[in-house]
C-alpha cells in the first residue's frame, strides 16, 4: 500500500524507490515493479514512494543520467549529453527532502541507479566504467543522514535470508 507519510503512525514505514512500486517514473517512463515490494513488504509495512529525480523536478521521460568524474564524489551528468549536469539540482532537492525522512524505519532502494543505487551504481570517468559498486547520490545522502536506518536494494530482496534480516531490522528500528 502507498500512503501519505502523515498517516498510520503505528505501522513501521519504509521509504521505497518509487519505480519499484510499479509507477512509471523512470527516465524512459518505465517501471521496475518488484514482486517482493508489492507483496511481502506491502503486507507488513506502510510504503512511502519516493522518486528523487521526479521530485527534483526532472520530467518523465527525461535524459538518462549517470555518476561520473570521481568515485568518492561523483557528479550526476547526462549519459548521452555529457554537458548536462544535475548535481546541484539534486543536492538542493536532497537538502530539503532529508528532514522529511526522519520517521522512516527502513528504505528499499533501486539497484544500479545513479540516484538510488545502494552498492551497485556504476561510475564513469572519461567514458570508461571504473566501478560498479558505488552509491547513488540520493541513497548516499540518506545513509549519511540516517546511519542507523535499515537499508536494502531490490537485487537483495530475492534472498530469503537477507530479506528476513532486513524485516527484523525494520521492526527493531520501529520499536526503538
Ligand atoms: S531509481 Fe530512483 S530516481 Fe530512478 S526512477 Fe526509480 S525512484 Fe526514480
Structure confidence by residue, pLDDT tens digits, 18-66: 999 999 999 999 989 999 999 999 999 999 999 999 999 999 999 999 9
Confirm if 36 and 42 have CB atoms less than 8 A apart: no
Residue 117 within a domain: yes
Residue 135 lies in a domain: yes
What's the whole-model pTM score?
Answer: 0.93
Q: How many domains does the chain have?
A: 1
| Type and span of the H or E element at 152 | strand 151-153
- The answer to whether residue 38 sits within a structural domain is yes
What gap in Å lies between CA 33 and CA 45, rounded to an integer? 17
Expressed in angstroms and rounded, the spacing between residue 52 Cα and the centre of ligand 1 is: 7
Name the DSSP class of 162.
H
Ligand 1 atom at minimum distance from 113 CA: 1
The three-state (H, E, C) secondary structure of 6-61, written as one string? CCCCCCCEEEEEHHHHCCCCCCCCCCCCCHHHHHHHHHHCEEEEECHHHHCCCCCC
3 domain-assigned = no
Please give the number of the atom of ligand 1 that sits closest to the Cα of 20. 6
71 within a domain of the structure (yes/no): yes
In a domain, 36, yes or no: yes
Does a structural domain hold residue 6? no
Pocket probe for ligand 1: among 24, 26, 34, 76, the residue whose CB has the most ligand atoms within 8 Å is 26
Domain extent, residue 40, equals 13-175
Q: What is the distance between the alpha carbons of residues 1 and 48, in angstroms, rounded to a whole number? A: 9
pLDDT at 45: 97
Looking at the domain assignment, is residue 7 inside a domain? no
Residue nearest atom 8 in ligand 1 by C-alpha distance: 51
Amino acid at each position: 500500500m502507498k500512503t501519505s507519510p502523515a498517516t498510520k503512525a503505528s505501522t513501521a514505514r519504509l521509504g521505497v524507490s518509487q519505480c519499484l512500486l510499479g509507477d512509471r517514473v523512470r527516465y524512459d517512463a518505465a517501471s521496475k515493479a518488484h514482486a517482493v515490494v508489492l507483496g511481502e513488504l506491502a503486507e507488513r509495512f506502510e510504503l512511502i514512494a519516493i522518486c528523487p529525480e521526479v521530485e527534483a523536478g526532472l520530467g518523465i521521460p527525461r535524459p538518462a543520467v549517470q555518476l561520473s568524474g570521481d568515485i568518492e564524489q561523483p557528479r550526476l551528468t547526462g549519459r548521452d549529453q555529457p554537458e548536462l549536469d544535475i548535481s546541484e539540482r539534486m543536492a538542493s532537492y536532497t537538502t530539503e527532502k532529508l528532514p522529511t525522512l526522519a520517521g522512516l524505519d527502513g528504505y528499499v532502494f533501486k539497484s544500479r541507479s545513479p540516484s538510488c543505487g545502494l552498492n551497485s551504481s556504476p561510475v564513469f570517468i572519461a567514458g570508461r566504467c571504473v566501478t560498479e559498486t558505488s552509491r547513488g547520490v540520493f541513497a548516499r545522502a540518506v545513509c549519511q543522514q540516517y546511519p542507523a536506518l535499515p537499508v536494502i536494494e531490490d537485487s537483495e530482496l530475492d534472498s530469503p535470508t537477507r530479506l528476513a534480516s532486513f524485516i527484523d531490522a525494520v521492526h527493531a528500528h520501529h520499536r526503538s
